[in-house]
Amino acid sequence: MPDVTKTPTAVEDAVALPADVTPVKQEKARSLWGDAWVDLRRNPYFIVASVLIFFLLLIAAFPSLFTSASPTRGDLVKHFLGKPELGSIGSEGWLGYDGQGRSVYARLIYGTRASIIVGVCVTAIVTLVGGVMGMLAGYFGGWVDAVLSRLTDIFFGIPFLLGAMVVLQSFVDRTVWVVVFALAFLGWTQMARVMRGAVITVKHADYVHAAKALGAGTTRILFRHILPNAMAPVIVVATIALGGYISAEATLSYLGLGLAAPTVSWGVDISTGVDQIRVAQHILLWPSIMLSITVLAFIMLGEAVRNALDPKLR
């Protein structure tokens, strides 16, 4: 009589796997940020931009690691307005000297700090201010949205560089923090609009309605459910705008309305190099190259982040 206890049932036959097949483990579903990080690690633009930005941040934080020369101390004996005196890379005079005998290389290294500080600080301030105003306007709507949106429109109607010139003109001592204030005073409007649109889209999601039904408060809904899901477009715009703020600082310094001596800045050196472009092109050339590389690095980073955070591109 056959042993019926060892006979497989129909259900077991249906789910039985061949002996040479290994069950596949189901991968844990990744979030939007997890998918974005996987895409960023494979993006060559992100890798190149990250390396450049890390190198620039290192120069800005520790300029003495790259040169021992003073960017403000001049020696008229080294007054050299022609081609740079090429020597060993990293030496004081391998990029030449300006009209006051100051090392162009040292000023290039120390000028990185002012540009990076202005770009990062302005971006942080406008993201915070514009993000809060846009989040409040988009979530509450009604008269709150009307008041904040009209206030944003008023500031948005002021030309950015022209308004910054007017603000800076009222200060006698234009330091780095004065320039940061002038640029941030008029630069938050774009962030406010982007955040408002993202919050309006997110607040109608099912998980927000579920949180309200469970009795979650307004603060918890805003910072726990809406803000993390509305930050993607804001981060993209902020990353790209950072390069624009660095360029704006150089433009204002070039026009004589931004940073001024004794502050070392690429914009100040570009302004000085224009007056000597016929006899000493290197004074204008090197800070212009550094400024272009810095702005390009942040734009590349912003484009890579935008492509990674946009589900349609995946």
Higher pLDDT, 183 or 309: 183
Domain count across the chain: 1
CATH code, domain with 81:
1.10.3720.10
According to the model, what pLDDT value does residue 129 have? 94
Tokens of 53: 């930005």
The token pair at 25 is 């483990």
Residue 28 within any structural domain of the chain:
no
pLDDT at 48: 93
Does 293 map to a domain?
yes
Determine the pLDDT at residue 24: 52
9 found inside a domain: no
Q: According to the per-residue pLDDT averaged within each range, which of 28-42, 92-106, 174-188, 205-219 is highest?
A: 174-188
* Residue 197 dihedral angles phi and psi, to the nearest 5°: -65, -40
Asked whether residue 97 is assigned to any structural domain, the reply reads yes
Amino acid in position 80: F
- Predicted confidence at residue 77, as pLDDT, reads 66
Closest CA to 265 of 65, 58, 62, 72: 72
Please name the residue that has the structure tokens 């120069």: 59
Q: What is the DSSP letter of 97?
A: B
Closest to 146 measured CA to CA, from 157, 137, 155, 158: 137
The SS3 assignment for 144 reads helix
* Per-residue pLDDT at 121: 94
Q: CA–CA separation, 93 vs 101, rounded Å?
A: 10
- Tell me the pLDDT band of 59, cut-offs 50, 70 and 90: very high
Position 64 in a domain:
yes
Structure tokens at 257: 């309305």
The whole domain housing 186 covers 33-307
Residues above pLDDT 70, as percent of the chain: 82
Which of 38-47's residues contact partners 24+ apart within 8 Å by CB, and which partners? 39/307, 39/308, 39/314, 40/304, 40/305, 40/308, 43/304, 43/307, 43/308, 45/300, 45/301, 45/303, 45/304, 46/300, 46/301, 46/304, 46/305, 46/308
Q: Is residue 119 in a domain?
A: yes
Residue with tokens 């477009």: 233
pLDDT tens across 228-258, in order? 888 888 998 999 899 899 999 999 988 888 8
116 lies in some domain:
yes
Dump pLDDT digits (tens) for 125-168.
Answer: 999 999 999 999 988 988 999 999 999 999 988 889 889 999 99
List the one residue out of 119, 104, 114 whose CA is nearest residue 61: 114
Identify the residue with better confidence: 6 or 102.
102
Taking Cα atoms as reference points, which of 124, 145, 129 lies closest to residue 199? Answer: 145
